[in-house]
Structure 1
Amino acid sequence: MDTLDRKIMTQLTEDARVSVSVLARRLDVARTTIQARIERLETSGIIGGYTLRPGPALVKHRLRATVLITIEPRAQPTILTRLRAIDAIIAVHTTSGRFDLLAEAVADTPAALDEVLDEIGQMPGIRGSESLIHLSTKIDRGL
């Protein structure tokens, strides 16, 4: 990726619906160059797709939590299957360090979030968990 590719990625991250013509004008590059670069970024897997990102009107009323999870050895496949079945879990990452997994959860009410956290804590194969409730977002680059 060169400087132009990074500029294209920045523009598309801010607004994935922007037209190739508008991108070309903003970046002062030929439309065909922008189109070819986008196709190459898609083909190479740098652009993995285009998706909807919920806006502040939806997100501001939802509670978010990061759940740091320690698991028993060899329990990961079973735990991932169980976490996948919980709609409130929007992402799970493996980690290095003290914790084995990092789960991101959302809920509409404190009681609903509490239920999700209890469900996670009661899963067989989980040694322990620590929850961090998100209070406010200071930086969000959407990546």
Structure 2
Amino acid sequence: MDTLDQTLIRLLRANARASIATLAHRLGVARGTVTQRMRKLEDAGLIVGYTVRLRPDAQPQAIQAWMCIAVEGNEARTVIASLLGEPGVATLHDTNGRWDLLAELRASDLQELSQVLERIRLIRGISQSETSIHLKTYRTA
């Protein structure tokens, strides 16, 4: 996956309904290039679907979890690109300390969360992870 693929994934995460023409314009490439890249990413299993994102309060029954991730060696870019393409990852943060990345996960139920965790566990370059389910918020900004 190169820089163009990563930018394409970022644009799709921001708006999965963006037209091929809009994506091509934003990327500065031909529409055929965008179509080909999307098909390649889908065939490789990096793009597993397209979704709608809702405000957190619009899904009161949704499950939110936090996953701390340790990355092997120099695999950070590959892991980050894969996580950015994972529909269950709502936000992704670079951190310091014991864990390299912090991912906020969202799922409609425990079964969906289990599927998200399974897909993340298959990402090459992740050496360890620890997931905690969000139970209650006491204060927001």
- Normalised by the size of structure 2, how large is the TM-score? 0.59
State the shift of 1:68 in Å: 0.2
**Aligned partner of 1:90: which letter?**
A
Closer/same/farther in 2, CA of residues 128 and 55 from structure 1, 3 Å limit: closer
State the shift of 1:128 in Å: 0.8
Aligned equivalent of 1:101? 101
Separation in structure 2 between the aligned mates of residue 135 and residue 74 of structure 1, nearest angstrom? 34
State the shift of 1:55 in Å: 5.7
Kindly report the root-mean-square deviation, in angstroms, between the aligned alpha carbons of the 2 structures. 1.7
Aligned equivalent of 1:127? 127
**Aligned partner of 1:137: which letter?**
T
**Aligned partner of 1:133: which letter?**
I
Asked which structure has the greater CA Rg, the reply is 1
Separation in structure 2 between the aligned mates of residue 55 and residue 124 of structure 1, nearest angstrom? 30
Separation in structure 2 between the aligned mates of residue 134 and residue 62 of structure 1, nearest angstrom? 10
State the shift of 1:59 in Å: 3.2
Separation in structure 1 between the aligned mates of residue 74 and residue 59 of structure 2, nearest angstrom? 35
**Tell me, what secondary structure is at the counterpart of 2:83?**
helix
Q: Which runs of 5+ in 2 are unaligned?
A: 1-53
Aligned equivalent of 1:112? 112
Q: Which runs of 5+ in 1 are unaligned?
A: 1-52
- Normalised by the size of structure 1, how large is the TM-score? 0.58
Instruction: Tell me the number of residue pairs that the alignment of Structure 1 and Structure 2 aligns.
Output: 89
**Aligned partner of 1:123: which letter?**
I
% identical aligned pairs: 31
**Tell me, what secondary structure is at the counterpart of 2:115?**
helix
**Aligned partner of 1:82: which letter?**
S
Aligned equivalent of 2:73? 73
Aligned equivalent of 1:61? 61
Closer/same/farther in 2, CA of residues 61 and 72 from structure 1, 3 Å limit: same
Closer/same/farther in 2, CA of residues 55 and 131 from structure 1, 3 Å limit: closer
